[in-house]
Amino acid sequence: MKARGLSRLGPVMQLAWLPPDFDAAVRYWTEVMGVGPFFLMENIQLNDMRYMGKPTDAVFSLALSYWGDTQIELIRPENDAPSIYCGEYAVRDRLHHTCLLLDDISEAYDACARHGAKVLVEGRVGDTGHVIYADPGGGPGTLVEMLQPQPGTAEVFGMIKQAAQNWDGNDPIRKLG
């Protein structure tokens, strides 16, 4: 079967949650699901971040691990600036968003325009990376992140994935960056 719609951009590489209790979510994923270790990146603020077309100073932290080939992301908002982490898109009782990796962010904008997906967040990741989060029409809980990673991202993701493959249950959360 040929891929259609936004799925033509590439496979889902990440499942992301915005838990009401970040520490409890890390414990659940590491102790119950056996996924870990998680690598924590704190106080992230995207360059030139816009929410619904307007500049925003949203700050968030996240923890990443891998469950097999799928990246698991847990997100903790650090302020209440307008973003997908507060307000109507801040669903905490289900999956928050999925992520696709792209070589060129213009492909994501084109696909969103072609399929009527509403771009909610735009920003730069580092000097050369770009990201958008879009609502393809399903509303909160169905967002799609489309990421054109900056150089070095594949190596960081590879290190996190390798750590998960060899994880012995110790040191379940580790700081990164």
Q: How far is CA 33 from CA 14, 30, 158, in A?
A: 16, 6, 21
* C-alpha to C-alpha distance for 56 and 79, rounded to whole angstroms: 11
What does the H/E/C string look like for 69-121? CEEEEEEEECCCCCCCCCHHHCCCCCCCEEEEECCCHHHHHHHHHHHCCEEEE
* C-alpha to C-alpha distance for 79 and 57, rounded to whole angstroms: 9
* C-alpha to C-alpha distance for 60 and 86, rounded to whole angstroms: 11
State the distance between the two ends of the chain, measured CA to CA, in whole angstroms. Answer: 41
Q: Which domains does the chain have, with CATH numbers?
A: 6-165 (3.10.180.10)
Per-residue pLDDT of the chain (177 residues; tens, 9 = 90+): 455 677 788 889 999 999 999 999 999 999 999 999 999 999 999 999 999 999 999 999 999 999 999 999 999 999 999 999 999 999 998 999 999 999 999 999 999 999 999 999 999 999 999 999 999 999 999 999 999 999 999 999 999 999 999 999 999 999 997
Question: What phi and psi, each to the nearest 5 degrees, are found at residue 9?
Answer: -70, -25
* C-alpha to C-alpha distance for 91 and 107, rounded to whole angstroms: 27
* C-alpha to C-alpha distance for 164 and 58, rounded to whole angstroms: 29
pLDDT for residue 9? 85
Q: Say if residue 145 is exposed, middle or buried (CB neighbours under 10 Å; 0-12, 13-18, 19+).
A: buried
Taking Cα atoms as reference points, which of 15, 4, 10, 11 lies closest to residue 107?
10
Q: Say if residue 153 is exposed, middle or buried (CB neighbours under 10 Å; 0-12, 13-18, 19+).
A: middle
